[in-house]
Structure 1
Amino acid sequence: MRIPGPERQEDGGLSAVAAAGGLHRYQLRLHEAYGPVVRFQLPGADTAVSVADPVLLEATAHIDTRPEELFAFLDPLCEAGNLQVLPADEHTPWRRLLLSVFAGRPAHERHFARRMICGFALGGAETDTDRVVAAFEEVLTEHLRRLYQVPRADPRSAERAEAALAYLRATVDRVVAAHRSDGRTDRSDLIGALVEAGQSPARIRDTVMMTLLAAHHTTGVAVSWTLHLLGRHPEAADRVAAELDQVLGERATPDYGDLRRLTYLDMVLKESMRLFPPGPYGARETTEDLVLGPYEIPAGTTVFYPFWAVHLNPEHWPEPERFDPERFTPQEVAKRPRLAYVPFGIGPRSCEGAALATVEAQLVLAVLLKRLRFRPAPGHEVTPVERFVLWARDGIRMMVRPRDL
């Protein structure tokens, strides 16, 4: 059976994506119009198959290959090979190493007081995080422009991107050199684990660069969207505050063990990432023929994962755009397919830092919401857009006051 989808366009689908307001919104429109499996033109990959049915996604969960062209914009960050498209024989041991750091409770507890990300990626070293984030945006914006052949609006953008990349490499090199000089090989931080495993200097730098990129963007936007939703749903914010008071008492910050008891906060975070997944899509490339329901997918096909469309699938999420943390009680979770909620991707290429990102987001939210109350800024419209992650076009502006006022 032929997979449904829109007619082919001479521009490779660029105008359709732009008209929809970005690839994430384009996917929502495609699946609303054509159903759970859609064939469409994907800029950078010619034709792709998008799957928004969590049951059908199970048939793709084993795939361990990403389409190289779609991730080529990350090439400048990597010297030893783009980490997002490593072949399976290289990717598997590298992933196992990262999971030994990111997913381990002892490491989480050790770095808990350091607010996590710098403790893991840089071993606790001091960095100018705002400048790091700005540098990533300079580099990736320029290389995405080249990938999709978008005319350069600023003649100096290429020059600035080169300077930003040089700054990022120098920052990581400085920290790696410090680890090597003092002999630290602590497996509870990322560089220590990479050094102990005998990874090359280039691979260590590549890994730290990618970790910084993923961590600073995804965790930050998850927290921002959660605060946005709580500001619009004061009854949920009241319940979070009451839970924090019950668990923490007079303490201003939680211990690591407290997070397990903050069950409603966890449900709120999950519902926020359902409505606004930090990374709104992913992609794989089939290495053999695949059957998806009534459709046959040939080897070499780009399979597109529209996480946002999966999370808004009305078959599994009644009134999908409504904010309802109760969707994540154990009883409700048990009713849904395993892949109905995939904020960190699926299979062997899912996010290695998922556990770390969750702990960090819970910690930041707990600290903020124990002290402060958030309300939407009057007259400010919040519109989701793509900016490497799912962010807001004009930011998320909020009114903040102490809780006790």
Structure 2
Amino acid sequence: MALEVVMTPGADGSFAMIPGPRGGGDGLAEIVAAGGLHNYQLRLHAEYGPVVRFPLPGAATAVSVADPVLLEATAKIDERPDKLFEFLAPLQESGNLQTIPAAEHTPWRRALLSVLAGRRSHEAHFEQFVTLARGLADRWADAAAQSPIALQQDLSALSLRMICEYALGRGAASPEQADRIVSAFEDVLTEQLARLYQVELPGTEEDRAFRAQEALAYLRAVVDDVLAAHEAGPQPADHSDLIAAMAVAGQSPARIRDTVLMTMMAAHHTTGVAVSWTLYLLAQHPEVAERVTEELASVLGDRPAPDYADLKDLPYLSMVLKESMRLYPPGPYGAREATEELRLGEYTVPAGTTIFYPIWAVHLNPEYWPQPEVFRPERFAADEAAERPRLAYIPFGVGPRSCEGAALAMVEAELTLAVLLQRFRFELAADHPVVPIERFVLWAADDIWMNLTSRSSPAQS
């Protein structure tokens, strides 16, 4: 890429020079050629430095920031660029939840956090999460002797069943229903992302559109059925499920339904892939896996799964998960819209600029992560973590538009890892390449296939 100096007006009438790639167009061809926006961002920052101006479909002007110190200037922004999140609009009838104005977003977010970030709510659902995780381990034990296991497929379905139980408040989805919900989300998102990035797909446009509409209708019907049952039945006294919390906050039925769908979509993708990438890394670093299992044995003894209170006593497991999400962040990027002029180091960007968060590039910034490609969980020991800027690690985003389900995702992921690592050793299937791709989250192109070996398992009672 050739260097182009882009002149951006500063508040004092001077000009800041922001480097970036030369050429016209919206950047789509370059993104496709790089193998996705996540790869494109890594290349841009490797060539041009921590602040880059670049063309982005749906944004007239985009500035990407890979330095955690400079990101602080953006941390309070509560607006997202409408065009970049248009592909999610078909899932929603009450306004795009990803781009609703700040005044409307704040009370909605507060209602979500009252459940998704609440310890009382986590504890209320934890036993059911354990049952679901152990059920997956049992199925894997039965299937492992016949063939390798597809991690992402099974772990995404597990995460979806967990979030169904959590969000819907009427028990987890059946395995058959969870599989159909996963498939329906894939149909909707594949069609919308293909339109966004102008990707050619098999079949006619009419057939794909029809399939996506059928899938969306099914998803809405699932949630509508639960909403009807919820209204007719007794309400939990502590409002520990998402529907109850949204109703108490005065949200409309349409907004509640949209919120449930968006929560289910985000949670089943992100948590499932986070656990998958963690197991992928542990399979390549057996010494780290053994240290994790030793910690589990010392805390759990013969118990097959942790209690909620045990999670705080598993610091190395937490470090391993965090280091995995540094190397393979489930959501590899995010975006905000500057609501006022911003100063980013030596650069000034005007209001209205799309501020792009290249999360993967931030996590691989060698200034803050020495040997950034190396898997080393000790980076997250308290003493090392204290030496880094707070925004050097942002797997759940930044500021008031960061992921409301971050705390819940960590609980689900740590529990799932604890159950599975107690039960199995993981070895990558031979001759199966693992290639990260962008598919709403950082996915493995053909899944991550593993051979499983049973450990001397804890009591299965």
CA-CA distance at 1:185 after TM superposition: 4.9
CA-CA distance at 1:133 after TM superposition: 1.5
2:259 and 2:43 map into 1 onto residues whose CA distance is: 35
Report if aligned partners of 1:383, 1:393 keep a CA contact under 8 Å in 2. Answer: yes
Q: Verify: 1:279 aligned to 2:319, yes or no.
A: no
SS of 1:313's equivalent in the other structure is coil
1:190 and 1:126 map into 2 onto residues whose CA distance is: 14
Of 291, 304, 316, which residue of structure 2 is paired with 1:239?
291
Q: Verify: 1:27 aligned to 2:73, yes or no.
A: no
Report if aligned partners of 2:170, 2:226 keep a CA contact under 8 Å in 1. Answer: no
Of 334, 355, 379, which residue of structure 1 is paired with 2:407?
355
Report if aligned partners of 1:228, 1:396 keep a CA contact under 8 Å in 2. Answer: yes
CA-CA distance at 1:134 after TM superposition: 1.3
CA-CA distance at 1:376 after TM superposition: 1.0
Report if aligned partners of 1:185, 1:195 keep a CA contact under 8 Å in 2. Answer: no
SS of 2:61's equivalent in the other structure is strand
Of 213, 224, 230, which residue of structure 2 is paired with 1:173?
224
Of 61, 80, 100, which residue of structure 2 is paired with 1:47?
61
Q: Verify: 1:14 aligned to 2:14, yes or no.
A: no
CA-CA distance at 1:152 after TM superposition: 5.1
Report if aligned partners of 1:48, 1:302 keep a CA contact under 8 Å in 2. Answer: yes
**Map 1:278-317 → 2, pairs under 5 A:** 278-317=330-369
CA-CA distance at 1:119 after TM superposition: 2.5
Report if aligned partners of 1:114, 1:124 keep a CA contact under 8 Å in 2. Answer: no
Q: Which residue of 1 aligns with 2:107?
A: 93
**Map 1:136-175 → 2, pairs under 5 A:** 136-151=185-200, 153-155=202-204, 156-175=207-226
Given the two structures, how large is their TM-score scaled by the length of structure 1?
A: 0.98
CA-CA distance at 1:18 after TM superposition: 1.0
Instruction: List alignment gaps of at least 5 residues for structure 1.
Output: none
1:370 and 1:143 map into 2 onto residues whose CA distance is: 39
1:392 and 1:13 map into 2 onto residues whose CA distance is: 24
Report if aligned partners of 1:112, 1:256 keep a CA contact under 8 Å in 2. Answer: yes
Report if aligned partners of 1:52, 1:306 keep a CA contact under 8 Å in 2. Answer: yes
Given the two structures, how large is their TM-score scaled by the length of structure 2?
A: 0.86
Q: Verify: 1:104 aligned to 2:118, yes or no.
A: yes
SS of 1:359's equivalent in the other structure is helix
CA-CA distance at 1:125 after TM superposition: 3.0
SS of 2:18's equivalent in the other structure is coil
SS of 1:83's equivalent in the other structure is coil
1:152 and 1:223 map into 2 onto residues whose CA distance is: 29
Report if aligned partners of 2:165, 2:172 keep a CA contact under 8 Å in 1. Answer: no
Q: Deviations over 1:197-233 (max 9, x none)?
A: 2211100000000000011000000000000000000
1:218 and 1:202 map into 2 onto residues whose CA distance is: 24
393-402 vs 142-151, which moves further: 142-151
Q: Verify: 1:228 aligned to 2:280, yes or no.
A: yes
**Map 1:59-98 → 2, pairs under 5 A:** 59-98=73-112
Instruction: List alignment gaps of at least 5 residues for structure 2.
Output: 1-15, 130-161
2:450 and 2:415 map into 1 onto residues whose CA distance is: 20
CA-CA distance at 1:151 after TM superposition: 4.5
42-51 vs 220-229, which moves further: 42-51
SS of 1:404's equivalent in the other structure is coil
2:430 and 2:200 map into 1 onto residues whose CA distance is: 36
Q: Deviations over 1:254-286 (max 9, x none)?
A: 100000001100000000000000000000001
CA-CA distance at 1:149 after TM superposition: 3.8
Q: Which residue of 2 aligns with 1:117?
A: 163
Aligned length: 404
SS of 2:19's equivalent in the other structure is coil
Of 317, 338, 352, which residue of structure 1 is paired with 2:390?
338
Report if aligned partners of 1:109, 1:256 keep a CA contact under 8 Å in 2. Answer: yes
Q: Which residue of 1 aligns with 2:184?
A: 135
1:152 and 1:75 map into 2 onto residues whose CA distance is: 21
CA-CA distance at 1:126 after TM superposition: 3.8
CA-CA distance at 1:236 after TM superposition: 0.2
SS of 1:81's equivalent in the other structure is coil
Report if aligned partners of 2:335, 2:357 keep a CA contact under 8 Å in 1. Answer: yes
CA-CA distance at 1:3 after TM superposition: 0.5
Report if aligned partners of 1:125, 1:175 keep a CA contact under 8 Å in 2. Answer: no
